[in-house]
């Protein structure tokens, strides 16, 4: 994932990256005050489950009542766009390079994993939020649960 240019990823690729990022981000409550990912992933998962049935219900209800289809179609399209907005944001975030403050923390977590005897691959290019998600997921699995407190 050395390619951090949004233009070369494409829309479909961005949605795929968003889905991967959503699955790889550790949903730990201690990360919530610092990162919006916990709230975004929760809202996106909820929207993926709820919005398509809501869109179908809205259209069916208006057709059954003989109502106007224009507003019903607009509502259905908006409801279906909500999960896509979440996946787009997550995909864009996944390819964003880490800011300097998080970059230092990223390297501290990597060092902690290396100290514990874990094999760490060298970082290629600028670390992104996806690299941070993968690192944190691994750290939560392989390090003591208090590793966040010590950093």
* Domain range list for the chain: 6-150
| Residue among 101, 122, 131, 110 at smallest CA distance from 25 | 131
Are 109 and 151 a contacting pair, CB within 8 Å?
yes
Identify the pLDDT of residue 7: 56
Identify the pLDDT of residue 8: 65
Per-residue model confidence as pLDDT tens for the chain (151 residues): 444 455 567 889 999 999 999 999 998 888 999 899 999 999 999 999 999 999 999 999 998 998 888 999 999 999 999 999 999 999 999 999 999 989 999 999 999 888 888 888 888 889 999 999 999 999 988 887 777 776 5
Are 113 and 147 a contacting pair, CB within 8 Å?
no
Q: How far is CA 118 from CA 121, 129, 132, in A?
A: 10, 21, 16
Are 45 and 94 a contacting pair, CB within 8 Å?
no
Q: What is the pTM of this model?
A: 0.84
Identify the pLDDT of residue 117: 84
């Amino acid at each position: 994932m050395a390619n951090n240019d949004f233009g070369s990823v494409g829309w479909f690729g961005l949605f795929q990256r968003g889905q991967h990022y959503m699955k790889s981000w550790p949903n730990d409550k201690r990360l919530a005050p610092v990162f919006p990912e916990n709230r975004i992933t929760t809202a996106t998962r909820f929207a993926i489950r709820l919005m398509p049935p809501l869109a179908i219900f809205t259209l069916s209800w208006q057709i059954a009542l003989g109502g106007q289809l224009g507003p019903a179609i607009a509502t259905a399209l908006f409801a279906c766009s909500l999960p896509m907005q979440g996946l787009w944001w997550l995909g864009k975030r996944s390819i964003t390079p880490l800011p300097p403050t998080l970059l230092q923390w990223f390297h501290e977590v990597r060092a902690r994993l290396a100290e514990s005897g874990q094999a760490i691959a060298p970082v290629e290019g600028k670390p992104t939020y996806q690299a941070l998600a993968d690192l944190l997921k691994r750290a939560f699995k392989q390090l003591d649960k208090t590793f966040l407190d010590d950093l």
